[in-house]
Amino acid sequence: MAATATAVSAAEAERERLRALLHKQYRWLDYKWDLVFWITAAFVVGAAADITKLLFAGDWDFWTDWKDRQWWPIVSPFAFIIIPSALQYIQWLAWRFPTGATYTAVAMFLCSWVGRVFQWQGFVSYPLAFVWPATIIPAGIFLDWVLLKTKSFILTSILGGMVWAFVFWSSNYITLAPYLQPTQFMGHVMSVADVQGIQYLRSQTPEYLRLVENGTLRSFLDETQYVSLVFGATVAIAGYWIGQLIARYLAIWPIGRFIKRY
């Protein structure tokens, strides 16, 4: 009887505790704090993505005449996918949000345009038609969609990495196509982008000289662009895992290593 009475008392105490939690007045943080967090983080994320792009891609994704069909589809997807992959891992691990790549793409797009408009057009007087930044927003949406459907970073790296390279090229080719049109300049036939490279001087030593399509990719069915896209998809997979390593061992690991868990 004593044991039964004790069990009943414990059950009643548990019910009272749960009833108190049910009627407890909680304090919720206003959604404005979420807005402040995401807007503040956008500057850091966008700057990190833009700096990574400048370090790995550099001139290949800066000037219009460097956006060729040989190296631009190879170097740029690799440079662009690193930070979106890192943010994708962080947001998926923390909130199960498949929005990390899209969020990074939008933040980097805004940061890139601010720099091009106020620095290169405002101070250096280069036209935006010569220094326009590439966009990765469509590629970021597809990368997040692959993670949402597969829920696997391995499949996202393979399928999403390949889709990333092809969507990057196709979405930016619409903007680039007018500058690839042939024109006659000083007795030579060249593209509009090459004419821009000649007319707008850049501080490079020695003087600006670039060999276009100096390689052996034409040995593959004489199709430089498509071979570059396939190889760019391969290196994009490697860039995706570089971003994963950055997120796991430079962002997540220190939190669990140095902050006490309760």
Delimit the domains of the chain by residue range.
32-211+221-258
Please tell me the distance from the alpha carbon of residue 51 to that of residue 150, in angstroms, as a whole number.
30
Evaluate the omega torsion of the peptide bond into residue 206 and state whether it is cis, within 30 degrees of 0.
Answer: yes
What DSSP element (H or E) covers 89?
A: helix 72-95
* Predicted pLDDT of residue 221: 53
**Whether pLDDT at 25 is above 80:** no
Cα radius of gyration (the chain): 26
Distance between alpha carbon 62 and the CA centroid of its chain, in Å?
16
pLDDT band per the 50, 70, 90 thresholds, residue 3: low
Q: In the chain, what percentage of residues exceed pLDDT 90? A: 43
Q: Which pLDDT value is given to residue 112? A: 92
Compute the distance between CA of residue 172 and CA of residue 225 in angstroms, rounded to an integer.
14
- In degrees and rounded to multiples of 5, residue 26 shows phi and psi of -90, 155
At 195 the pLDDT is 87
CA dihedral 221, 226, 228, 230 (to 10 degrees): -110
pLDDT of amino acid 199: 85
pLDDT surpassing 50 at residue 124: yes
Architecture of the domain spanning 32-211+221-258: Up-down Bundle (1.20)
CB 167 within 8 A of CB 159: no
Computed over every residue of the chain, the mean pLDDT equals: 83
